Copies of this chain bind each other. A is one copy, B any other.
Amino acid sequence: MADKIPFQINAADDDSLARQAVISTGRGEIQTPFFMPVGTYGAVKSQAPEELQEQGAQVVLSNAYHLYLRPGLDLLERTGGLHPFMGWDGPMLTDSGGYQVFSLAALRDVDDGGVTFKSHLDGSVHRFTPEKVIDIQRVIGSDFMMPLDECPPGDAPKKIWATAVARTTQWMSQALTRFDETGPAYGKPQYLLCIIQGGTDPGLRRQSAESLLQLQPSGVAIGGLAVGESKEELQATLEDLAPQLPADMPRYLMGVGTPADLVRAVGLGMDMFDCVLPTRNARNGQLFTSAGKLNLRNAKFRDDLGPVQDDCGCPLCRRYTRAYLRHLFVTGEVLGLRLATAHNLWFYHHMMADMRSAISSGAYSHWSREFLGRYEEGLE
């Protein structure tokens, strides 16, 4: 077992499963629900840590698999962990790298004891065990740690999902043993969440949740979604699973998703999110707004002297026109992707803040209907 993440619910919506809570960590409090920008290598694309904070980020996500390969554990240990290395003082979550081993590694060989793989960078051979992945995250010093899990594709046959569920539970048990035997390297508490697998099969999902919760993790994550299944399957899986989860621990929906996905998932009681969409889309000139997405490369913005979004307070919208941002993209200026990334992250964090306010004032259902109406109309 691991200490539970300190989690205090302030408000719960009457018409949905949405709740607003506070998580306490060794690096400050976090208001839920919240979104974590993705800083795979210890940097969120083009953004400085003080900018992430200004945008509204409370927690930054990084990745154990990638950091293990580059810059490597020796350097992180000498630096005192990833926080000082990258200059982010707030809470941090690291994904274990299970997903990366399964999606990126050149060759992999899974057995009950762990996974052996070739680095996608240089072909060197490595082995991750549940214990090793805990050790890596002790060195990284992340506030929230994730265990090694097996994450099959969204269209895998049920038999593959079932094997992944069993293995993920067994690995979580070993991870918790190593977690108990070791302690934080830098004096701040670390927490270990479990990862529920089971594809889009309700029975497997419930079985996965039940067996993992018996092991008493710090919190609960739902993995293996947004990996190729349909929106309807994602929604149905969450609807079925959410009531099975204990109310008193945070729920992290891994790798999801679009603004509309997040609004719906919060209504189903999810608290924590991460996704590459705001940063990746920004690099392609796609900007999120409350009235849908804008593709700034579109010729119709060539002479548009308005801001990307009228009521947005981000550094892009405060100062620059759509025409200037388009000009930066057309001429390949890095400042364009930087400003677009800042805007998209600002949009995500402010959307989460709006959700928190709506839950607190008992108006989440109304707010989410309004938001989705405006947002999805804009997509047409």
Contact = CB atoms under 8 A, between A and B. Distances in A.
Contacts of A335: 43-48
Contact of A75 (B46, B87, B323, B339): B323
Interface in A57-94: 66, 70-71, 74-75, 78-79, 85-87
Contact of A337 (B74, B85, B302, B334): B334
A75 B324 CA distance: 10
A198 to B, nearest CB: 33
A130 interface: no
Contacts of A47: 335
A110 interface: no
Interface string A185-196: 000000000000
A75 B303 contact: yes
B78 A334 contact: no
A107 interface: no
Given A75-B303, A305-B78, A86 B324 contact: yes
A44 to B, nearest CB: 8
Interface residues of A, number: 38
A330 B79 contact: no
Contacts of A331: 41, 43, 66, 70
A71 to B, nearest CB: 4
Contacts of A303: 74-75, 78
* Among A41, A44, A302, residue most surrounded by chain B Cβ atoms (within 10 Å): A41
A66 B328 CA distance: 13
Contact of A305 (B43, B79, B328): B79
Nearest to A335: B43
A334 B39 CA distance: 12
A70 B315 contact: no
Interface of A: 41-48, 66, 70-71, 74-75, 78-79, 85-87, 302-303, 305, 315, 319-321, 323-324, 327-328, 330-331, 333-339
